[in-house]
Amino acid sequence: MKKVATFGEIMLRLSPPGYLRFGQAASLDMTFGGGEANVAVSLANFGMGADFVTRLPSNEWGDACIAWLKGFGVGTDKILRGGSRMGLYFLESGAAQRASKVLYDREGSAIATIRKGMVDWDRVFEDTDWFHWTGITPAISEGLCEVCLEGIVKAKQRGMTVSCDLNYRAKLWRWGRRAAEVMPELVRHCDIAVGNEEDAEKVFGIKAPGTDVQAGNVEAGQYGAVAEALKTKFPGLRLIAVTLRGSLSASRNTWSGILYDGRRLLAGPRYDIAHIVDRVGTGDAFAGGLIYGVRAFGEDLQKALDFAVAASCLKHSIAGDVNRVSVEEVEKAMAGETSGRVSR
């Protein structure tokens, strides 16, 4: 089986220990993370070949990031080196009724200053048959948006599967054009689209009837209309998935997802997550699980969806951006082994 290539920015993530607020912290915990990199790590953990494509500065932080990715088995030989700095993001973890908070420091980062022609897409795609990107990437800069579209078009020309996670980030769309103006041109080339319960509304104005995200009212059937509307807007999409999070508090959520293939609306299992360790990266864990499931299980789309929902449910128990779980652990969750009893 050929590999999956993902493209986007990876950042240095800095967080106060535990649940401290920014103003309380005397130190910050460090790791790396970013939407597309998180997907590549999930796939590598599942034993599936994955390359991550980005641009990193030629300094110690760039070297450390590449070593970190290699530690998961992610392919890094397509990463460009250059630019002056690595992007940063700061995460304050919420608890109970206090929400988590993210602050970005990404302007002028190595990948934000990338330009068309810098990535040798023929080399990137020589041993891959799947390309994944997210809506975070075109939001960062106009140049990066152009490079992302360049990669998407090249992948389609080669007959590859192209998947996207809509991933709307209001704080990032500042370079001139809005997401609603930019995203249609990118998504229309895609085969598979993933989003959360709000992405379609915030990017394309497509809202599920009778829902209230703030109140935790997100039922699977209500999002069938969203999937159908996305299919109408983008006829080339063969699969549309939506993650469904019921936010009861920052510490307790319900979690599920749906998958629409143009004919059937499939609903995944619904998990009650009573204690969240880290919810950042759970959408990426779902996307990684879905890509794995579609590739591994073929026409069994229900199994692919169930795998994606279970994998991303488990991510809520993992600190950091990436989902450090195995296929075996996901399959146990799918089989109902979710009591948390010690495995001896």
Q: H helices within 205-320, ranges in order? A: 224-233, 282-297, 301-315
CA–CA distance, 57 with 70 (Å, rounded to integer): 17
Looking at the domain assignment, is residue 205 inside a domain?
A: yes
Looking at the domain assignment, is residue 208 inside a domain?
A: yes
Could you give phi then psi for residue 131, rounded to 5 degrees? -125, 130
Give the closest residue to 132 by CA, choosing from 28, 310, 312, 8: 8
| 256, 293, 194, 62 alpha-carbon torsion, rounded to 10° | 110
Q: What is the model's pLDDT at position 222? A: 83
Q: Which long-range contacts (C-beta less than 8 Å, at least 24 apart) are formed by 101-108?
A: 101/22, 102/171, 102/280, 103/22, 104/171, 104/172, 106/9, 106/11, 106/140, 106/172, 108/84
Looking at the domain assignment, is residue 233 inside a domain?
A: yes
Q: What is the model's pLDDT at position 212? A: 64
Contact predicate 48/73, CB 8 Å: no
CA–CA distance, 342 with 58 (Å, rounded to integer): 44
pLDDT interval class at 95 (50, 70, 90) = very high
Looking at the domain assignment, is residue 28 inside a domain?
A: yes
At residue 99, does pLDDT exceed 70? yes
Which tokens go with 214? 């703030």
Domain carrying residue 288 = 3-334
Pairwise pLDDT comparison (219 vs 102), residue with the higher score: 102
Pairwise pLDDT comparison (110 vs 343), residue with the higher score: 110
Q: What is the model's pLDDT at position 204? A: 94
Mean pLDDT, residues 38-49:
98
CA–CA distance, 32 with 165 (Å, rounded to integer): 20
Which tokens go with 5? 């290539």
Looking at the domain assignment, is residue 253 inside a domain?
A: yes
Mean pLDDT, residues 14-29:
96
Looking at the domain assignment, is residue 340 inside a domain?
A: no
Q: For residue 328, with 0-12 CB atoms within 10 Å meaning exposed, 13-18 middle and 19 or more buried, which class applies?
A: exposed
pTM of the predicted model as reported, rounded to 2 decimal places: 0.95
Q: How many domains does the chain have?
A: 1
Could you give phi then psi for residue 32, rounded to 5 degrees? -120, 155
Q: Which residues contact 93 (CB under 8 A, 6 or more apart)?
A: 15, 16, 18, 19, 100, 278
Q: Look up residue 121 and give its DSSP letter.
A: H
The helices-and-strands tally (H runs, E runs) of the chain is 11, 15
Mean pLDDT, residues 222-241:
94
% residues pLDDT > 90 (the chain): 89
Task: For residue 292, give the CATH number of its domain.
Answer: 3.40.1190.20
For the segment 285-314, what is each residue's pLDDT rounded down to a tens digit?
999 999 999 999 999 999 999 999 999 999
Mean pLDDT, residues 45-55:
98
pLDDT interval class at 342 (50, 70, 90) = low
Q: What is the model's pLDDT at position 88? A: 97
Looking at the domain assignment, is residue 314 inside a domain?
A: yes
Q: What is the model's pLDDT at position 145? A: 98
CA–CA distance, 260 with 231 (Å, rounded to integer): 9
At residue 67, does pLDDT exceed 70? yes
Contact predicate 104/49, CB 8 Å: no
How many Cβ atoms are within 10 Å of 225's Cβ, its own excluded? 16
Looking at the domain assignment, is residue 341 inside a domain?
A: no
For the segment 115-153, what is each residue's pLDDT rounded down to a tens digit?
999 999 999 999 999 999 999 999 999 999 999 999 999
pLDDT interval class at 344 (50, 70, 90) = low
